[in-house]
Chains A and B, each alone.
Chain A
Amino acid sequence: MASNSVLQPVTTHGWRAGFNNLFRKENRDWWGTRSWLAQAIIWTAILIGILATVLFAPMEGDASLLLAGGKSVLGLMIFFAVAGTALPIGAIIMGQEEVLDEKRSGTAAWILSKPVSRAAFILAKVTANAIGILLIMVLLEGVLAYGLIAAVTGRAFPVIPYLGALGVLYVNVMFYFLLSLMFSAASNSRGAAIGIPMAILFGYQFFVGVAPWLLEVTPWGLTNAGSGSGLPNSVATAVALGQSFSGLPIIATLAWCLLFVVIAVWRFNRDEF
């Protein structure tokens, strides 16, 4: 039997113990398999398909459309509105699987019997999925939508504000991903991990109707036009068009995201395997 002396030991301590290996594996799950391709095809079919339907539909003489700034602005609004709902649904499904499936299958117990911190287990999933969601679900689809709108309408939006708008969309998607992941780390209930984020995603009109101020502290106004805020556009559309917008919902949503991660790590630390 050879000795361990020829091998360089991993020297990370504390919360980082095991993170690099876990992160590599989570990344491989995205990029080393066909997962990224499947995600790209699904979201392109849904988001770009709907956008194309709208852009290619005849709309001559539609006064409201002209007032709103033409087909290109309509396309922009449609893209952020549809992506702002469809992508969170995908993110919720992904988030609930991340920890819950590993707890149920027993692979979490196996991994945690190695020199791995529980924080690293959660953070590796958060980080790798954050990259996958950003590149495939937000950036790729955003670039395709941008190209389609420009090709069909002949109008290209300024790139930097548009990327800023995609950033707003990304914050919105991550909110739901992390909310679902938090429930999957904190409970053994798939119902809670899917149902609660879905209720928050689809219940916004009810909640905002009861308490309009919620728009300022939730992601609801980030991609939903109007949303009872009195503004004609969502924050994402306003950012893309260079209009004025309130930054508070973005800051609040980022704070929620951070809180969800903290709760997920804290709760997972208390779990027993």
Chain B
Amino acid sequence: MAANDLVIETHGLGKTYKEVTALKALDLTVSKNSIFGFLGPNGAGKTTTIKLLLGLAKPTAGGATVFGHDIVHDNVEIRKRVGYLAQDPRYYEYMTARQTLRYTAHFFFKGPEKDIEARVTETLELVGLSDKADRPIKGFSGGERQRLGIAQAQINYPDLLILDEPAASLDPQGRRDVLEVMEKLRKHTTVFYSTHILSDVQRVSDTVAILNKGQLVAQAPIDQLLAGGSGSTIYVMSLKGDVTQAQQRVAAQPWVSNIKVTPDNTHTDWQVTVTDEAAAEEQLLRVVLSDAQVHVLEFGRKKYELEEVFLGLVEGNDGQ
């Protein structure tokens, strides 16, 4: 991958608060135009990482660049190209949504005023706040505040949008709306967002990193992560007929480490764990079909749910 395709690069990034290590030697790369899901349980170090990237906190170890700018010495330049939604965003309560966006826009643009106003109006429409644009924020609900948060993060059409738990405080409809906005924006920007909500990640992300206790435990494109689970490759087969001999034959292959058999009334399900993916792809089905008494109803590589992968990695990491 070319260096200019990378938006975020961290090298051994670490942060210790007094004696508490919030982040340990994080090596992370985020490529351009991806929707990058940053997962982890509470206290995993997600918000700390985001604050370090924005220059709101200073690293105690390692370093990072965003758009090639150093996060410690050049963070104003970084923030010129970034939109950020905090986990618990706070604004001036006396300002209206329109005033808040206008104020935010003036950090990025000095004019012309009519074009800034047009941008503000367009952004209010994008997040569905047009009808509440001129009400003071102090009367806003949690969902409305979150929409305003996305709007103020988006007002400069950032090259990188950093969202810290953007859907955490929202009801299902609010979550759906936020995900829709994120999907709309992916054409124009890179989205780096932290979340607990795994189904959201599975729905919109193309790359995922999982953080636990301040350590990166996985980073991969989501398809790869869901295909590979927590490290082992498993093939699932649904078979009809007498499978006893076929099972012995498959188990004898050197690249098969385990077969989990689940009998059913009409068929038998296998989960075959393999150590050599290429060998399994080429030979597994042939080995089974060489037994004429067996009919293959279904065959494929096991697709994991993100929750399964997440728990496998996090709990595995906890046990170390």
Mark A residues whose CB is within 8 Å of B. 1-4, 6-10, 13-14, 17-18, 20-21, 24-25, 105-107, 109-110, 112-117, 272-273
- Confirm or deny: B267 has a beta carbon within 8 angstroms of a beta carbon on chain A: no
CB pair B56 A110 closer than 8 Å = no
- The residues of B that contact A25 with a CB separation of less than 8 Å are 103
Residues of B that sit less than 8 Å from A by CB = 51, 54-58, 76-77, 79-80, 82, 84, 86, 88-92, 103-104, 106-112, 115-116, 118-119, 122, 156-157, 188
Would A116 and B76 count as touching, CB distance under 8 A? Answer: yes
> Which of A18, A110, A273 is B51 in contact with, Cβ under 8 Å?
A273
Asked whether, in the complex, the Cβ of B122 is within 8 Å of the Cβ of A2, the reply is yes
Q: Is the CB of B119 within 8 A of A2?
A: yes
Contacts of A8 in B (CB 8 A): 109-112
Q: Are B109 and A7 in contact (CB under 8 A)?
A: yes
Contact pick for A272, options B56, B89, B92, B104, CB 8 Å: B56
- Alpha-carbon distance A20/B106, docked complex (angstroms): 9
Q: Please, how many angstroms separate the alpha-carbon atoms of A1 and B90 in the complex?
A: 27
A4 touches B156 (CB 8 A): yes
The 5 closest A-B pairs by CB, nearest first: A106-B90, A114-B107, A7-B109, A272-B57, A21-B106
- The 8 Å CB contact of A10, one of B56, B108, B112, B157, is B108
| Total A-B residue contacts, Cβ distance less than 8 Å | 87
Cα distance A9–B115 in the bound complex, in angstroms: 12
Q: Of the candidates B91, B116, B188, which one forms a contact with A110 in the assembled complex, judged by CB atoms under 8 Å apart?
A: B91
CB distance from B71 to the nearest CB of A (A): 13
- When distances are taken between beta carbons in the complex, the residues of chain A under 8 Å from B116 are 7
What's the least CB distance linking B238 to chain A, in Å? 47
B84: which A residues are within 8 A, CB to CB? 113
Measured CA separation A110–B103 after assembly (Å) = 12
What residues of chain B lie closer than 8 Å to A14, measured between beta carbons?
Answer: 76
A-B contact pairs, 29 of them (CB 8 A): A1-B122, A1-B157, A2-B118, A4-B109, A4-B156, A7-B108, A7-B109, A8-B110, A9-B109, A9-B110, A10-B108, A10-B109, A14-B76, A20-B106, A20-B110, A21-B103, A21-B107, A24-B106, A106-B88, A106-B90, A109-B86, A110-B86, A113-B54, A113-B56, A113-B79, A115-B76, A116-B76, A116-B79, A273-B57
